[in-house]
Chains A and B, each alone.
Chain A
Amino acid sequence: MIKIIPLGAGQDVGRSCILISIGDDSTGIKNLMFDCGMHMGYNDERRFPDFSYISKTNRFTEQLDCIIVSHFHLDHCGALPYFTEMCGYEGPIFMTHPTKAICPILLEDYRKITVERKGETNFFTSQMIKDCMKKVTAVNLHQTIKVNGDDDLEIKAFYAGHVLGAAMFYVRVGTQSVVYTGDYNMTPDRHLGAAWIDKVRPDLLITESTYATTIRDSKRTRERDFLKKVHDCVTQGGKVLIPVFALGRAQELCILIETYWERNNLNVPVYFSAGMTEKANDYYKLFINWTNEKIKNTFVQRNMFDFKHIKPWDRQYLDLPGPAVLFATPGMLHIGTSLEVFKKWAPYPENMVIMPGYCVAGTVGAKVLNGDKEIYIDAYNKINVKLQVKNLSFSAHADAKGILQLIKQCDPKNVMLVHGEKAKMEFLQEKIKRECRIPCYSPANGETTIIDTPLSIPVDVSVDLLKRHLTAQKLPLPTSDDKIDITKIKPVNGIPIQGILTMEPDQIPKLMDVNEAIRDTNLPLRELTFEFIKSFDPNKIDTSTRTDIRTQALENVYEKVRKALKDDVNEVEIIKNSSQIKIRSMLIRISDKNSNSFNISWNYKDENLANYVMSIIDNILPE
């Protein structure tokens, strides 16, 4: 049984935090938390998940086995220092290396805005962020981690695209498993590869659904569109503002602009608002292995994150005449450089703002996207919006097609949608139920979902027996492929296995080969043979030639049995000669004494097979 409660991201975007309980009697129940995010839309206690669901008495460390953080975006990790340093959770936390590196930078940025600009107290401190990060265990992609050294609780990260270091996590407890995607992108972009997961067949896939109803046009078209808009605007002498988040989309768009500028020999200045940018690019340079193949393979000759055309922004450029392109943070225009520049450039129709990402409701960015012509920043300040507003979906989330693609890739038994808007989720939920024919859930925050998983009973199998069966199954290796393709290596599946199961009180049942059982457990095994005389009516035999009627009857039996066994049981050898047929221990032979009859004998161990064969014989040889 798997129990899931979203503390955030249930029918909502923001504050991702999902609790799961998973396990059975043999493994014990494990409790995990996927992501520990904050909500951009709130400034009160609603910005953090309501952790009292886990424990009313703050005994979080006892209650939770671990926290897994999917990527560095604040809506996935923003509440982490609060939870570890102010609520007292001291258990393990897992994230990838780039996430561990970049996460504290964003947390510090968030802390500064909240405490220093908004003047809030009772917030986590810089030291708390540092202390929190010390508790984090960094993981590599595909590395299997046994949490707390527990053989029954394993986690494994898969590449998720989306942002540098973003990962999906596979969690296995005994025979039950869950995949949590975090945010992911199924199409590669200029700097990151596409998400990819093995066919892990989890009991439950928890997937984001930000773009649940969107099917986006091709990446190329969007890129061309973006470049054309920028180029047109600067050709007319306008200024282009591109509000971005410092890490992620920014690097992708910079690579786009950089290559376009170079190819077209443009000299219109391109700026990037200072601060985190350079540092952000340093992260990309050190974690080249997490970007895409092309960047990886060429980085010795040219590091894609050393931009030639893109210069740091200086506030004094604000009033310079002439065209320019500026990437400025933050992406939602709610504060900082992007808002400052927006105020300046918004009143002029030759200028343009390109919104490449998602904006939380209530932010200036959301209002701009909404087409508002007058925007109040506060009670006294109003901006007249006359510049051109373009929205280009560059947000690296999977669209509906991508989500379905991921479902096919990992082949889950159940799907749960989170991190999306309620109405859109409902649409996708129906689509998944219809197209994939699997149950799909989309619970609200605080709502408990229970998913039944098949019970499984532990058994100790003798290595001898296991080997005998595996060796019998000589597997064909794929023939020479030019490219090695891991997906062609298929797990061994469906080998018929036979054995003796023994159970002693308070012990795990043992499965072994029959001979092993006799040898090791002194199993008093007896031989029991049945013999049967089957007579038949010679007039009812189908005969085509003038051969001996008994030979013909034997031939008929052989043909029918062979055909039936071929369809129903493979790997059964049927041997026939002129007077008898042998199937395992079963012997059908023409009787010496009685005319028009067969002597049929078998060992009790093949009772099932013998019964089956007898029923066929009765059918074709009526008495």
Chain B
Amino acid sequence: MKLHPLSRNLRRNCFLIKLMQMNILIDCGLDTSYFLEFPPRDIIGSKAQQHASVSVEVSSNISDHSDHTSSSNDAILENKENDKKRRKLDHLIDSTGDGSGGAGGGVRRRGQFLVETPEFSSIDWNIIDFIFITNYNHMLALPYITEYTNFKGKIYATEPTVLFGRQMMKELVHFFGDSVLKSRTHSQPGSTNIFTGVTADWNVARSLYSIADIQSCIDKVRPVRFGEHLNLYELEVTAYSSGYCLGSANWMIDCGGEKISIVSSSSTVQNIHPLPFDETVLNNADVIILSDLRDKDGARFETILIEIGNCVANTLKNKGNVLFPCTMNGIIFDIIGFLSQHLRAVGLRGIPFYAVSPIAEESLKYSNICGEWMCTERQQKMYLPDNPMHHQDMIEQSLLYYASRADSSLQEKYQEPCVVFAGHPSLRSGAAINFIRKWGNNSNNSIIFTESEYDCEEAMSAFEGLQIKPIYLPIDIRLTINEVTNILREKKPQHVLIPQKIIKESGNIRPNLPNSFITLYECLDIVNISINSQFVRTVMTENLASNIELVNLGKDSLIASLNGTLNIHNTKTSLTSAENQLNQQRYVCGEFDVSKLINELTEQIYGCRIDEFEEDKRNSRFI
């Protein structure tokens, strides 16, 4: 087995696995962390807002630091500085206006956000047989593959992953997509070049795909369910719940008895909505590939939740409003449910919640029909039939409203004080910006960051001098390396593969997993693993068995040459009679009695000669 990690961002998986003659891609995450380095979308191209106080941190990857100037107190100068900074930040923008600028021809238009795909340039898409997706956070680069390469394989993901993945892509394009692209006619595979921009050290920054690309891409994904054995040629592939979000999966690939587990974003946190982590995926695994682990220990989930509850209650009591910049899925469903109960418990009744995102309605409604993908308590509610998602009750009781934008449709039902959930968590686009502008100058209001993905301070740094109170309470429910090793110790896998960057000192891991070989991998490594599994159980038919001529080797050991047909059906191999006996190979084994052979041969055939090369060939048997 070969493993080839392709993503630089630890939170965005992408691995190429070569297994026998199969080429498999696990996940294709899209790195959107660069968003923080661009100015918020409502500022771009808007002259009216040129005076807005905007300061953007110029950061490492995209621009050089050499002519970084500190901010000035002079307002006019500051504006000029900001302009300069932004241009510097957007160094791919062709400032000359003649379209000639930019290294390697990678020109970024004004206002265009770039994202980073995994390193795809070395991949021959023709030979990729399968793509397996672990959860919707790791699939946003999929349209680049399905719509712009000659990939012809099959893609598998769980039902909720397909649904929520489509929503996330839609949200991304709504927030950061290039309006020019919307009118673009559907592109032909192979025209990858128009999407590739250039950054200093990674030749993969791209502009976003279009809405049309998303549907076409999603149509190509086959939805599966947990515990469903997919029989793909000689592979048996199964998704098991990873406990992280609705439909989040870890995959087990069984390749002729050798088991490879792919462990992605997983969680063992109790009392959250998804179906719990299923350890079956680790049972008898030969190789376990770990990814998307949490790099630091944090406060307990329950503790943070209560802290969030208190912050929200305090803000509301002071007649302030609360803004959660977030993506409308995952742990936010638990936060909404918890907050609603918490506020009622502290006597704050009837405070309206607003979910504002292009995917808010879809996401809230779809999640409620995914009861089968939820923990036991929520399934019990579904059986009653009650809504397994508390937010559906809130929608029915007019306590939670959804809107795709912060516009007149929201205005009708809008009242303060309130709690708003709005995207995008990077604060670079979406309704979150509208609410920051609206509430920014009042210190009674709070903005609570619960997402651990984007650095909160960097996100806020685009908005200077605001009175709104920022509160950082990031929730990260992923497994830490210590939690994983505790689970793995019992399972005794042969090989464990861990991302290098997650481990400060691998010495700490090895003693905890004494029975396993530990390999640390880095992006673009090629890791070779040989698995030493020996035998796999199968069956042979009575018919085949009856035609086998057994030879006794003494000591009750029997031996035979077998010529049969290997069938694989429904993951089960079986051996049946050979269609042709001519293929059968025969062997002579044991001691060889030459004189006896000569005697027998000469009795039957005239004129035969036997050349003897070794002396002591006696008592041999033909098999």
Binding site for B on A (CB under 8 A): 26, 97, 100-101, 104, 138, 140-145, 172, 174-175, 198, 200-201, 279, 282-283, 285-289, 299-300, 454-463, 466-467, 469-471, 474-475, 477-480, 483-484, 486, 489, 491-505, 508, 510-511, 514, 523-528, 565, 568-569, 572, 604-609, 612
A7 to B161, CA, bound (A): 43
Q: Indicate if the CB atoms of B588 and A470 lie closer than 8 Å.
A: no
- Say if the beta carbon of B334 comes within 8 Å of chain A: no
User: Among the listed A138, A461, A607, which residue makes an inter-chain contact with B573, where contact means beta carbons less than 8 Å apart?
Assistant: A461
Interface string of B14-51 (1 = CB under 8 A from A): 00000011000000000000000000000000000000
A299 to B372, CA, bound (A): 18
Mostly helix, strand, loop or mixed at chain A's interface?
mixed
For A140, give the chain B residue with the smallest CB separation. B225
Q: How far is the CB of B383 from chain A (nearest CB, A)?
A: 4
Q: B567 contacts which chain A residues (CB < 8 A)?
A: 491-495
11 intermolecular pairs with C-beta atoms under 8 Å apart: A100-B383, A101-B383, A142-B228, A466-B573, A491-B233, A497-B565, A498-B563, A503-B557, A503-B560, A528-B592, A605-B585
Q: Indicate if the CB atoms of A144 and B583 lie closer than 8 Å.
A: no
Q: Indicate if the CB atoms of A461 and B538 lie closer than 8 Å.
A: yes
Binding site for A on B (CB under 8 A): 20-21, 129, 150, 152-155, 159, 219-222, 224-229, 231-234, 238, 256-258, 361-362, 365-366, 368-372, 379, 382-385, 387-388, 533-543, 545, 548, 550, 556-570, 572-575, 578-592, 617, 620, 622-623
Q: How far is the CB of B558 from chain A (nearest CB, A)?
A: 4
Are A477 and B153 CB-contacts (below 8 A) given A101-B383, A498-B585? yes
Q: B220 contacts which chain A residues (CB < 8 A)?
A: 484
Q: How far is the CB of A285 from chain B (nearest CB, A)?
A: 8
A201 to B154, CA, bound (A): 25
Q: Indicate if the CB atoms of B575 and A459 lie closer than 8 Å.
A: yes
A510 to B534, CA, bound (A): 11
A525 to B588, CA, bound (A): 6
Q: B582 contacts which chain A residues (CB < 8 A)?
A: 565, 568-569, 572, 608-609, 612
Are A496 and B565 CB-contacts (below 8 A) given A299-B369, A459-B540, A606-B585? yes
Q: Indicate if the CB atoms of B536 and A461 lie closer than 8 Å.
A: yes
Q: A568 contacts which chain B residues (CB < 8 A)?
A: 580, 582
Q: A492 contacts which chain B residues (CB < 8 A)?
A: 233-234, 566-568
Q: Indicate if the CB atoms of B232 and A175 lie closer than 8 Å.
A: no
Identify 5 new A-B residue pairs, CB closer than 8 A, beyond the known A491-B569, A526-B590: A286-B387, A456-B541, A467-B256, A491-B568, A524-B591
User: Among the listed B159, B256, B384, which residue makes an inter-chain contact with A470, where contact means beta carbons less than 8 Å apart?
Assistant: B256
User: Among the listed A300, A470, A505, which residue makes an inter-chain contact with B20, where contact means beta carbons less than 8 Å apart?
Assistant: A470
A466 to B255, CA, bound (A): 10
A524 to B618, CA, bound (A): 11
A454 to B541, CA, bound (A): 7
Q: Indicate if the CB atoms of A526 and B592 lie closer than 8 Å.
A: yes
Q: A511 contacts which chain B residues (CB < 8 A)?
A: 562, 575
Q: A493 contacts which chain B residues (CB < 8 A)?
A: 567-569
Q: B545 contacts which chain A residues (CB < 8 A)?
A: 457
Q: Indicate if the CB atoms of A479 and B152 lie closer than 8 Å.
A: yes
Q: Indicate if the CB atoms of A300 and B362 lie closer than 8 Å.
A: yes
A541 to B535, CA, bound (A): 53
User: Among the listed B385, B548, B591, which residue makes an inter-chain contact with A279, where contact means beta carbons less than 8 Å apart?
Assistant: B385
Q: Indicate if the CB atoms of B575 and A497 lie closer than 8 Å.
A: yes
Q: How far is the CB of B392 from chain A (nearest CB, A)?
A: 9
For A505, give the chain B residue with the smallest CB separation. B556
A499 to B564, CA, bound (A): 9
Q: Indicate if the CB atoms of A605 and B542 lie closer than 8 Å.
A: no
Q: Indicate if the CB atoms of A460 and B575 lie closer than 8 Å.
A: no
Q: A495 contacts which chain B residues (CB < 8 A)?
A: 565-567
Are A489 and B565 CB-contacts (below 8 A) given A458-B537, A460-B535? no
For A145, give the chain B residue with the smallest CB separation. B227
Q: A461 contacts which chain B residues (CB < 8 A)?
A: 535-538, 573, 575
Q: Indicate if the CB atoms of A501 and B561 lie closer than 8 Å.
A: yes
Q: Indicate if the CB atoms of B228 and A143 lie closer than 8 Å.
A: yes
A612 to B582, CA, bound (A): 7
User: Among the listed B222, B382, B385, B540, which residue makes an inter-chain contact with A456, where contact means beta carbons less than 8 Å apart?
Assistant: B540
A504 to B383, CA, bound (A): 54
Q: A502 contacts which chain B residues (CB < 8 A)?
A: 557-559
Q: How far is the CB of A545 from chain B (nearest CB, A)?
A: 32
A471 to B534, CA, bound (A): 17
User: Among the listed B227, B543, B617, which residue makes an inter-chain contact with A143, where contact means beta carbons less than 8 Å apart?
Assistant: B227
Are A523 and B538 CB-contacts (below 8 A) given A141-B225, A143-B228, A283-B385? no
